[in-house]
Structure 1
């Protein structure tokens, strides 16, 4: 596993493409949503066919996540974005992690851990007391990661079938 110090995690600045000219956040979000739709048994051929709420994130992440903090990651061996995560704006001392995604080629290198740890640090700096998230129950690797990082399963706040809700104190 790559040392997390070799992973650069920064706050997304709203650009559609990275300075390198490579695809930016929209491409990561499209991959996330396309994979999720396929895993739910509702595959679509491309991002233009995603349900409206997800398509809007891909088309205009700046508007979709206005008020939230979007973190992006690149590895030491590439200037391309290899991961993303959204931290919602705090409400009543709580925020939520959403849209954690790393490119398949970059998995197993500590990028997801680096993103979650950066999100936790960001939440703490904002005075958040609790960070929560939801994850599909078939994403056992993600659930394992969250458990290693101190998250525990809690009563669901989202009633969608097969969704696991987790949280941890900051």
Structure 2
């Protein structure tokens, strides 16, 4: 089941999912030598986790729930260039392989203007495969961080 997050009711759940996503991302970045392994979450991420309603204000936050437990989220908004943008796509490990991610991305794409852009770490093969299956293709990078792929759906 998918729902649009409502704040403050969903604050704790969204905060927990964001924390999982951001910590996993920082761990992976350390494993790939992009950040020191002892770095805590950067301040901007700590603020996002602590205050999701404020940090995500004006963005569409979609939460997935399976068997009574919130198990994924995706955030949709507009990029600085005005294109639609998908970010913070996350499913818990227990929810993977059960269609939760596909449902989240499908809902994120429903009713938003094209082009849609997103960035993904090059080692996140399952996510990249999903994006390419949906028609996303490599795009001119708008973020020059090492290991980050920029994709777009026309």
Q: 1:100 aligns with which of 78, 89, 106?
A: 89
Check conservation: 1:67, 1:89, Cα contact below 8 A. no
SS, match of residue 55 in structure 1: helix
Following superposition, which runs of at least 4 residues in structure 1 exceed 2 angstroms of deviation? Answer: 15-18, 42-45, 89-93
1:90 deviates by 6.6
Conserved? CA contact 1:27–1:58, under 8 Å:
yes
Aligned-pair CA distance for 1:135: 0.2
Cα distance, 1:50 vs. partner?
1.1
Offset of residue 44 of structure 1: 5.3
Structure-to-structure mapping, 1:24-63, within 5 angstroms = 24-41=13-30, 42-43=36-37, 49-63=40-54
**TM-score (normalised: structure 1):** 0.81
Extract unaligned runs of 5+ from structure 1: 1-7
Matched, 1:136 2:121: yes
CA distance 1:59–1:144, change in 2 (3 Å): same
TM-score scaled by length of structure 2: 0.89
* Superposed displacement of residue 129, structure 1: 2.0
Distance 1:92 1:161 in 2: 21
Shift of 1:154: 1.1
2:33 aligned partner: none
RMSD between aligned residues: 1.9
